[in-house]
Structure 1
Amino acid sequence: MLDLYFVLTPQFMLLDLAGPAEAFQIAALHGAQYRLNLVSPLTELTSSVGLKQHQLAPLPTPIPAGATVILIGAQNSLVNLKNAESKQVVTWLRQHFDAQQHQLACVCSGTMLAAEAGLLDGRQCTTHHEIIDRLRQTAPLAHVHDDRLFVQDGPVATSAGICSGIDLALHLIEQDAGPLIAQSVAREMVVWLRRSGQDPQLSPWLAHRNHLHPMVHKAQDLISRQVSERLTLAQIAEHVHTSSRNLARLFLQHCGITPHQYQLDIRLATARQLLLQPQLSIERIAEQAGFASTRDFRRVWQQQTGKLPSESR
């Protein structure tokens, strides 16, 4: 079970909390091993919209090994992150957060608390565009990026805030629980799986999902679940109750690629993961990734990477 500690301070931004918390909670309903904890120096706080949060747990001391600490931003952070409670959080982070044992996620101005605690020194990071300059002044040893939805550097992740906290949560869910659960969460929340242009490309499981067409999503789910089966376009179309021609048309319209190319991308991504397991032979990897033969796998892999599979291990 992975403990998530959402750290709240006075006038915390409600959406900074609610967006990521809902994403993680939905992921738990889909099988992810998450346990959500709301913690604060105070047992009761008022949010940015006046909603009161009662029965908050104290800041954990020590922080359990393997836990993720999520720092939530505050309204008018220039003022509200200078109060005694925020200073107490900074002291707590300095004393108890260990990058070797814990993970840190910062939403919006919550990044400023990490900066005050010295946790961003030498790391790449970002925050809300209105306080980028203040972050640079507070953490002069950090590498601060503009115009990024989120940035991850080792165990420390920071986001631009508000709605981008959901993007960061989906990214962490994919890392912790896998792309299929991240897909399910995004679809249930009806949000795009989006990233900024400077971030690493989407994994193939999350790419081409920025649409709301249920039939195409169902076809993509089938391809993702049954990678090892060499499904034909006709079989996929039958599963979603349409014709092969119509499904191909819908894929191009809503995903921008053909069903075949999408299926190939998923196979290559699966093979890339399997290559990390040294006990698996190239023949076994080709089979599990759904390629027609080992020769076919080698040919496609070399076309895509310029290397043989064995050279990529």
Structure 2
Amino acid sequence: MRKKTNNLLDAIGNTPLVRVPFNTPAKIFAKLEYLNPAGSIKDRSALFMIEEAEKKGLLKSGGTIIESSSGNQGVACAMIGAMKGYKVIITASPAMSEEKIKTIKAYGAKVIMCPAVPIHDPKSRHSVAEKLLEKTRNSFMPNQYFNLSNPKAHYNSLGPEIWRQTKGKITHFFAAAGTGGTISGAGKFLKEKNPKIKIMAVDIDTSFHSTNGHPKPYKMEGIGIDFETPCLNESVIDRFFPVSDKHGLGMLKTMAKKGFLIGTGSGAVSYVVQNYLNKLKKGDVVVMLFGDSGRAYLSKNYY
């Protein structure tokens, strides 16, 4: 149960773990990360990286947070910046939902739209963010795709929560992989507690990782390993599950009718878990991560 707090940022984490009514003798739970203050799992890693930068003197009062984001990281940085009094600039690509763009702006942050090109292209959202960082005094870029504090955040926060909430009985952990921070950080913690726990990463079937370096465009957000990143620790991952837009997006209505209005990446995770049920047995305890809410995608008409 969450306790009363005098600071909104203290409300990040300790999200509910809720039973999902799938037809199986195993126990299936969803970790409802969309109940974080800014609406996603990214609240955890964004806060961790920003406060780490403050401690190291990399971000000082009156400074600017600059980040490249497909959506949720940008929203998290915008909310945290508003709370701490920082200026925030988010570089984004056209795939970002209208709701996410409006939410970032609602927190007072600036959004710079960039073309959907490979990460090392000078016009990519990541490259543009790096250029802004170079010319903006007292600025900091969390750099979620390459900052190892990303998985560290989930090792210190998400992993221990899941272990505690399942009383150490978890047998399988399913989560969408994008930067790799969530699955790698929480997965590492859980593996250290019990090496037999299965860490299952869900990816887009047309991502850089799934296609061995030959990616194709896709619709889902909050998922997709699009380049090599040190934040992805494959040594703690037991299996990768590639999921198509058709199957991932197709699960959204199914889950909504069960009461879970989830985001697109979570739809892919739900699809994988549903199709894994025949491999589960009584006594298994499965935790699947619901990284954000479907409210961020209603304009896409997926539901």
TM-score, length-normalised on structure 1? 0.24
> More relative contact order in 1 or in 2 (CA 8 Å, sep 6+)?
2
- Structure (1 or 2) with the larger CA radius of gyration: 1
The structure richer in helix per residue is 1
TM-score, length-normalised on structure 2? 0.24
